[in-house]
Structure 1
Amino acid sequence: MDLVSSQICKTGDIGIYNNLFGGKMLAWLDEAGGTYSASICCTPYMITLKMDEVVFKKPVKVNDHIRIYGEVSRMGNSSLTINLEARRFNFSSHK
């Protein structure tokens, strides 16, 4: 998988349980997917048709570093299917 994007979870990104808002993660994934698709197809005119499955495995806390990786799953004449994966890294605990 290719490194597509990275983000740092900031205090404005968290909810009442001190975890990253799921919607914020979805926005990061959507933006990363759009830019990755645009670079693969050499055009800025890409849209997200759908997200098949999103599984939130572990909470993201303030100052966690999120790295988003992507790979092309299928390429058609007028469509592109990609897989994205977000991985969490905490600088203080090195996990």
Structure 2
Amino acid sequence: MKFHSRKWVKPEDLNANGTLFGGKVLAWIDEEAALYSIVQLENKKVVTKYMSEINFMSNAQKGDIIEIGIEVVKFGTTSITLNCEVRNKMTHESIVTVDNIIMVNLDDMGNPKPHGKTKVEYVKDRLAKKEKEVSG
């Protein structure tokens, strides 16, 4: 799993118990899944269809740095299925896991649209391919 982003747990991210609020971390997960899917599917119109069971395994405190990891489980015709782990950056202790997040690729009318992707692609490889096509 690749960890793509980090968040610093601030006072406004805490619940009444003084630990990271579950709703805040879920918003971060949803945003990370959307960003990852947009890059993979090369389309800005991607929405969350489904999130499986969310497993809160430990907490995070004010001042902790957490990181969010995403990996592809599978590519569907119009969707991409991901899993996610949020962990403490310093200790690597898991805070939250989500086994399945289904993101759907949409057309301009908001309908599911086939994306034609079958494997993870990296932006650096796409850029190298385009550069090669331009140079000959």
TM-score, with length taken from structure 2? 0.64
Q: Point out where structure 2 has 5 or more consecutive residues left out of the alignment.
A: 92-136
The alignment yields a C-alpha RMSD, in angstroms, of: 1.0
CA–CA separation in structure 1 for the residues paired with 2:45 and 2:6 = 22
More strand by share: 2
SS in structure 1 of the partner of residue 46 of structure 2 = coil
Equivalents in 2 of 1:45, 1:73: separation in Å? Answer: 20
Map 1:70-85 to 2 at 5 A. Answer: 70-85=70-85
Query: 1:23 is matched with which residue?
Result: 23
Higher RCO structure (Cα 8 Å, ≥6 apart): 1
What is residue 87 of structure 1 aligned with on the other side? 87
Per the alignment, residue 47 of structure 1 pairs with 47
Specify the code of the residue in structure 2 equivalent to 1:83.
N
Runs of 4 or more off by more than 2 Å in structure 1?
A: none
Task: Give the Å deviation of 1:4.
Answer: 2.2
Q: Larger radius of gyration, structure 1 or 2?
A: 2
Which runs of 5 or more structure 1 residues have no equivalent in the other structure? Answer: none
TM-score, scaled to structure 1:
0.90
Aligned twin of 2:121: none
Equivalenced residues, count:
91
Indicate the SS of the match to 2:67: strand
Structure 1 position 17, deviation (Å): 1.0
